[in-house]
Amino acid sequence: GENVEQHPSTLSVQEGDSAVIKCTYSDSASNYFPWYKQELGKRPQLIIDIRSNVGEKKDQRIAVTLNKTAKHFSLHITETQPEDSAVYFCAAGGYQKVTFGIGTKLQVIP
């Protein structure tokens, strides 16, 4: 089955700086890579996703890059704001299901 590793487990950045979270996956058949944000006490919510026919996708301050050869993908958040503080999960899989990483707790310091 798919195995997803995510790092770092915690990340602190100053407001306005960029944050980068990296994930690797094991199953070369995986073709769908979503990122979810989970605020304290709330449900995970999708913030961006990418499919394997695309190398990069951007949505305002958030971007995801994918390197299928190396089996890794990354989340980039620019101009971080305090409301970006949360736990971020990467996932990898396909049409049927995805496997989640353990999460990165991002703290944006005002």
Partner 1 sequence: DTGVSQDPRHKITKRGQNVTFRCDPISEHNRLYWYRQTLGQGPEFLTYFQNEAQLEKSRLLSDRFSAERPKGSFSTLEIQRTEQGDSAMYLCASRSNELAGGSYEQYFGPGTRLTVT
Smaller CB separation from partner 1, 27 or 49: 49
Q: Which is nearer to partner 1, 54 or 79 (CB)?
A: 54
Ranges within 36-65 binding partner 1 (CB under 8 A):
42-46, 49, 51
Burial category of 77 from C-beta neighbours within 10 Å (exposed 0-12, middle 13-18, buried 19 and up): buried
Distance, CA of 11 to CA of 104 (rounded, Å): 7
Tell me whether residue 14 or residue 92 sits nearer to partner 1 (CB atom): 92
Q: In one letter, which amino acid is 109? A: I
* Count of chain residues binding partner 1 (CB under 8 A): 23
d(CA 30, CA 68): 9
For residues 33 and 50, what is the distance between their CA atoms, to the nearest angstrom? 5
Which residues between 7 and 36 bind partner 1 (CB under 8 A)? 32, 34
Binding mask 73-102 for partner 1 (x = CB under 8 A): ----------------x-x--xxxxxxxxx
